[in-house]
Amino acid sequence: MIPFRLREDIGIDLGTATCIVYVKGREIVVSEPSVVAVDAETEQIICDGEEARRMLGKAPASIRVIRPLRDGVISQYDLTLRMLKRYIKTACPFHIFKPRVIVCVPSNITDVEERSVVDAARNAGAGQVYLIEEPVAAAIGAGIDISESRGTMVVDIGGGTTDIAVISLDSVVVSESLKVAGDKLNDAIKDYVRKKYNLLIGDQTAEDVKIRIGNVYRQQKPEYYRVRGRCLARGIPREITLSSNEMLEAMLSPITAIVDAICTVIERTPPGMIEDIMTSGIVLTGGGALLKGLSELISEITGIKTVVAPNPVNCVAIGTGKSLDNINTFNESSVNLARMRLPKY
Ligand SMILES: Nc1ncnc2c1ncn2[C@@H]1O[C@H](COP(=O)(O)OP(=O)(O)OP(=O)(O)O)[C@@H](O)[C@H]1O
Ligand SMILES: [Mg+2]
């Protein structure tokens, strides 16, 4: 039974792929794909979350299935607002005062994008809105004590953005956010299959390929996965078998961009903190961290031990939730924790 409280404090990981809501005292209460299905004529929402995700690429012309967030930020304000409204209502149906809400945002978010998140959360039913940066939340969620004077490196690979940060003393010392993550890996698989096999596959098929046989490191035994698509030469359906051995080649460009960005952050890290990172290692969070062979590849290229955090998909939500304990010290409507940055190195 949901306890009655005068006011709830909630944390929201408003992700490109997944929206997760954490309520203080009850932990994760909503975890749904950030997808909305609307009636093409009336613009009324038909469904959202998992139900809408299942319609992606399969809906008739009368239904538009939309992902209202792109590259880590709100691209369709109205739909994001309506989706958030429902999730906040589901998370805390009974209350007297509006909830205080912490939302996490990518590290290089612009002022306009930041304002859009604050407005959406407020119009969706939040009383006060506070923001924290995604890699900071990811680090807290991964169980790292960010208040220590010890550099820790976190790489959060989501659907839309990869956020890389070195954190020490509650602040981000160096960070980088790039719009290359899970969605770009899917696009790369689609491109590869189109160019090599002259076959057009859908977004969901590319996602299935990545999850089933995606691997970016040397393997003993290859895995295979059969995919169906439309032959571009003849316009008829065709089936091919992909091997996990092809996956690094398929995803090479986005994987190189992610690894290069990690190397750039290491280069910009103050020398005194490099030793800390060498000792504690790089921690991977976000759904993209589950890509097979990625931690081994990063380890080999950087020479730094790289580990996947336990429960990587929920790290940002859990970290946002844990930071609710400090909500009384936060400034409203601006990014808290990690706003103070040292100069670039
Ligand atoms: N087993 C897996 N292997 C590879 N990728 C995976 C796996 N499981 C999930 N993913 C990918 O993780 C991504 C979603 O991760 P996550 O939920 O952390 O993103 P998000 O927080 O919604 O996005 P962002 O933080 O960029 O706004 C998707 O691109 C999905 O394909
Ligand atoms: Mg995320």
pLDDT exceeds cutoff 50 at 202: yes
Q: Is the CB of 290 under 6 A from ligand 1?
A: yes
Whole-angstrom distance, CA of residue 194 vs CA of residue 115: 39
Q: Is the CB of 211 under 6 A from ligand 1?
A: yes
Whole-angstrom distance, CA of residue 182 vs CA of residue 275: 30
Mean pLDDT (whole number) for 201-225: 94
pLDDT bin (cut points 50, 70, 90) of residue 97 is: confident
pLDDT bin (cut points 50, 70, 90) of residue 219 is: confident
Q: Which segments of the chain does DSSP mark as H helices, in order? A: 49-53, 77-91, 111-123, 134-141, 182-197, 203-213, 247-250, 252-268, 271-280, 294-302, 315-322
CB count within 10 Å of CB 95 equals: 14
Q: Is the CB of 11 under 6 A from ligand 1?
A: no
pLDDT exceeds cutoff 70 at 333: no
pLDDT of residue 58: 87
pLDDT of residue 343: 33
What is the tens place of the pLDDT at every residue in 51-76? 999 999 888 999 999 999 998 899 99
Report CA(182)–ligand 2 centroid distance (Å): 10
pLDDT bin (cut points 50, 70, 90) of residue 329 is: confident
pLDDT exceeds cutoff 60 at 340: no
pLDDT bin (cut points 50, 70, 90) of residue 120 is: very high
pLDDT of residue 335: 65
pLDDT of residue 264: 97
pLDDT exceeds cutoff 80 at 196: yes
Report CA(134)–ligand 2 centroid distance (Å): 7
Mean pLDDT (whole number) for 90-97: 79
pLDDT of residue 7: 76
Report CA(252)–ligand 2 centroid distance (Å): 22
What's the one-letter identity of residue 146? I
pLDDT of residue 345: 28
Q: Is the CB of 242 under 6 A from ligand 1?
A: no
Report CA(246)–ligand 2 centroid distance (Å): 27
Whole-angstrom distance, CA of residue 113 vs CA of residue 310: 30
Mutate to test the pocket of ligand 1, among 164, 258, 313 (most ligand atoms within 8 A of CB): 313
Q: Is the CB of 163 under 6 A from ligand 1?
A: no
pLDDT of residue 93: 79
More confidently predicted of 106 and 302: 302
pLDDT bin (cut points 50, 70, 90) of residue 96 is: confident
pLDDT exceeds cutoff 60 at 43: yes
Query: In sequence order, what are the residues at sequence separation of 6 or more whose Cβ sits closer than 8 angstroms to the Cβ of residue 93?
Result: 2
Q: Is the CB of 14 under 6 A from ligand 1?
A: no
Whole-angstrom distance, CA of residue 312 vs CA of residue 289: 7
What are the tokens at 186? 């899917």
pLDDT of residue 296: 97
Query: In sequence order, what are the residues at sequence separation of 6 or more whose Cβ sits closer than 8 angstroms to the Cβ of residue 164?
Result: 135, 153, 154, 155, 156, 175, 176, 177, 261, 262, 265
Q: Give the position of tokens 């601006």.
A: 334
Across the chain, what does the average pLDDT equal?
Answer: 91
Whole-angstrom distance, CA of residue 161 vs CA of residue 180: 5
pLDDT of residue 154: 97
Mutate to test the pocket of ligand 1, among 12, 13, 18, 216 (most ligand atoms within 8 A of CB): 18
Mean pLDDT (whole number) for 43-55: 94
Q: Domains in the chain, start-ordered, CATH in brackets?
A: 9-136+316-336 (3.30.420.40), 142-180+252-314 (3.30.420.40), 182-250 (3.90.640.10)
Mean pLDDT (whole number) for 315-332: 87
